[in-house]
């Protein structure tokens, strides 16, 4: 390891930045992180006992930075094994000491984190902010590769070579838009909970051999996007009519849907914290070409 790459926690106790807050004014702060990660080698976002989660890796690095035994992070949502993110949001309370400015926190974390996890931004936010409970919407993309299989894109897309009907996919996405009870599209039905969600936009984007199901909504059920995507894929293959999605939403009957699509094709693109923020969100590139 080169000298400049060696991390020394105590180096942050007296930050040399000219705009550092005086020691007498330093208190605990709430940070908001925007995180990108390749989920291929992780068992989802959340910390758990049966595999390594992105949350666990981040918490361990933060504990090292702030020289504390443990530091808990709140994620904007959980993701399944193999699912990726460009805009996962996390929040945490930072100890008063050592005082690490937001600009230095991002740089330090990105030196400590593995290549598959990177911090896109770090900022101090009001203490009322919570990455999960302050969110008012999310945007996802599910990527399907209809052509040759690359050893690189295979990590980030579902391979389906026999898609024959793009219009069926578009029709199915039209049924998804609006406010519906999405109970048929979750594998973790909880009778005491509300399963109604509003989908603001559901569209098909085509980038060469790649198809993207771009879905933006107020919230999502467990594995909902993957379940919708699996049914859309079967409609695109000509195996089921696109109307099955409408029938599933109207009747609540799971017989109209198909198996959930593999996690590797799913990307959490963005989390919204303002009610109208979703309106300016667009998908102009493949998720793994966006930055």
Question: Which active-site residues does the annotation give?
Answer: 80
Q: Which letter, b or e, does each residue of 75-92 get, where b requires 16 or more Cβ atoms within 10 Å of its Cβ?
A: bbbebbbbbbbbbbbbbb
CB 198 within 8 A of CB 218: yes
């Amino acid at each position: 390891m080169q000298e400049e790459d060696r991390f020394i926690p105590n180096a942050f106790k007296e930050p040399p930045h000219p705009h550092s807050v005086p020691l007498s004014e330093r208190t605990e702060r709430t940070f908001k992180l925007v995180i990108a990660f390749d989920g291929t080698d992780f068992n989802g976002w959340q910390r758990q006992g049966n595999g390594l989660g992105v949350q666990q890796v981040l918490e361990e690095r933060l504990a090292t930075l702030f020289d504390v035994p443990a530091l808990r992070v709140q994620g904007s949502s959980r993701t399944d094994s193999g699912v990726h993110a460009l805009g996962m949001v996390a929040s945490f309370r930072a100890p008063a000491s050592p005082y690490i400015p937001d600009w230095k926190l991002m740089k330090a974390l990105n030196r400590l984190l593995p290549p598959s996890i990177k911090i896109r931004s770090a900022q101090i936010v009001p203490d009322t902010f919570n990455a999960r409970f302050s969110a008012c919407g999310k945007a996802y993309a599910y990527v399907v590769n209809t052509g040759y299989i690359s050893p690189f894109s295979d990590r980030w897309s579902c391979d389906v070579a026999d898609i024959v009907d793009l219009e069926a996919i578009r029709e199915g996405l039209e049924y998804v838009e609006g406010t519906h009870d999405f109970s048929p599209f979750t594998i973790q039905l909880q009778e005491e909970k509300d399963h109604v969600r509003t989908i603001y936009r559901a569209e098909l984007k085509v980038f060469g051999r790649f198809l993207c199901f771009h879905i933006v909504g107020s919230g999502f059920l467990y594995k909902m996007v993957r379940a919708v995507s699996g049914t859309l894929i079967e409609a695109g293959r000509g195996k089921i009519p696109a109307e099955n999605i409408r029938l599933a939403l109207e009747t609540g009957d799971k017989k109209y849907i198909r198996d959930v699509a593999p996690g590797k094709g799913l990307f959490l693109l963005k989390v919204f914290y303002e009610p109208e923020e979703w309106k300016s969100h667009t998908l102009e590139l493949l998720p793994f070409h966006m930055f």
